[in-house]
Amino acid sequence: MSKLVLPGVGVVVLVIALGVQAASVALFGPLAAVPSFARFAASGWPFAAAHATGIDRFAFVRVELARAALVRGDADRAAALVDALPESVTVADLRGQIALAAGRFDDAVAQFGVAGDVVRAESTIATVAARDPLAGYDLAAAFAAAAVRRDEPAPVRAEAAWRAGQLAAEVAVARPAESARYGAIALGLYREAVADDPTQEAYLLADGFGSLFAGDVTGSRDAYRRAVAAVHDSVDGYVGLAVSEARLGDCAAARDAAASAQTYAARQHRTIDVGSAGYDAATRAAARRCIPTM
């Protein structure tokens, strides 16, 4: 009798643990604690128990077992468990984690995008970009394009485009022979971000600097004007406006913008150094000519 009771108790405990975990994820989603059942199951025996009792036919059981397999570092088992499951946010996120564990970064980012797990997607992109900026840019560009195809909310599309633009700009600096190409790509992405979210200071500043880098000085000035209109005490916005006005030869406007930049910088306990801002020689010369105190 005891031989029957003990496995039965084990199955009951297993089902209860799975139910509690599933309820936690359903109620709290990404705020739920790191799956407690997954850590419990990492010892290995629940896989055999679930299979022997047939409860691994249930989707929620397979999901939790797949999480447990990931905790064990067994991406192949996790993949087999979720392979036949119907598409859902949870399954897409698991597939992303499986792909990440297997080093398939493009698949991981794509699945995280489907799951709406922007944090994991951006973390994966950043990890790749730290080793290879071009590979990071490729991932970010694909993520941004997928966000457009899925018709994600405008702020999500804008953030994805801006981040891809930042990585394209890094590639432009790292590869001088392809600087113009990737600088133009970065500028296009910045402008996509601005089109989706036209009052975000970071996007407008990127548009302003990218335009100046590409030689579109008028476009740069206009972007910086929008930046200071959106954020009245934007030090970087006023610095960029001063520099672009100087490049356009309007020294009076450049000095006015520089005065605003210095006022707000003092209030924010910041210093201004145009020479360290990455401007080209012609831009720095124009700034020195019009605003020697900056």
Taking the model in full, what pTM does it have? 0.79
**d(C-alpha 79, C-alpha 86), whole Å:** 13
Q: What is the mean pLDDT of residues 191-214?
A: 96
- The answer on pLDDT for 235 being more than 60 is yes
What confidence category does residue 15 fall into, taking pLDDT thresholds of 50, 70 and 90? low
Angle subtended by helix axes 45-53 and 59-71, to nearest 10: 160
Q: List, for residues 129-140, the tens digit of each pLDDT value.
A: 999 999 999 999
DSSP letters spanning 109-142: HHHHHHHT-HHHHHHHHHHHHHH-HHHHHHHHHH
Residue 17, pLDDT score: 54
* Dihedral sign from CA coordinates of 204, 209, 215, 217: positive
Tell me the residue type at 111: Q
Q: If you search the block for the tokens 């970009």, which residue do you land on?
A: 129
Mean pLDDT over the full length of the chain? 86
Q: What is the mean pLDDT of residues 141-155?
A: 96
* Dihedral sign from CA coordinates of 95, 100, 103, 108: positive
Tokens of residue 289, six digits: 């000519």
Q: What is the mean pLDDT of residues 118-127?
A: 96
**d(C-alpha 55, C-alpha 14), whole Å:** 10
Q: What is the mean pLDDT of residues 37-55?
A: 66
Q: List, for residues 50-105, the tens digit of each pLDDT value.
A: 777 878 788 888 898 898 889 888 999 999 999 989 999 999 999 999 999 999 99
**d(C-alpha 169, C-alpha 38), whole Å:** 41
241 HSE (CA, 13 A, CB side) = 26
**115 Cβ neighbours under 8 A, 6+ residues apart:** 89, 90, 92, 93, 96
What confidence category does residue 22 fall into, taking pLDDT thresholds of 50, 70 and 90? low
Contact 204, 194 (CB under 8 A): yes
Between 195 and 73, the higher pLDDT residue = 195
Q: List, for residues 252-291, the tens digit of each pLDDT value.
A: 999 999 999 999 999 999 988 776 667 888 888 998 999 8
Residue 276, pLDDT score: 61
223: enclosing H helix or E strand: helix 217-230
Nearest to residue 108, comparing CAs of 98, 117, 122? 98
R_g (Cα) of the chain, nearest Å: 26
- Say which DSSP state 176 is in: G
Q: What is the mean pLDDT of residues 110-116?
A: 95
What confidence category does residue 24 fall into, taking pLDDT thresholds of 50, 70 and 90? low
Nearest to residue 143, comparing CAs of 163, 169, 129, 127? 163
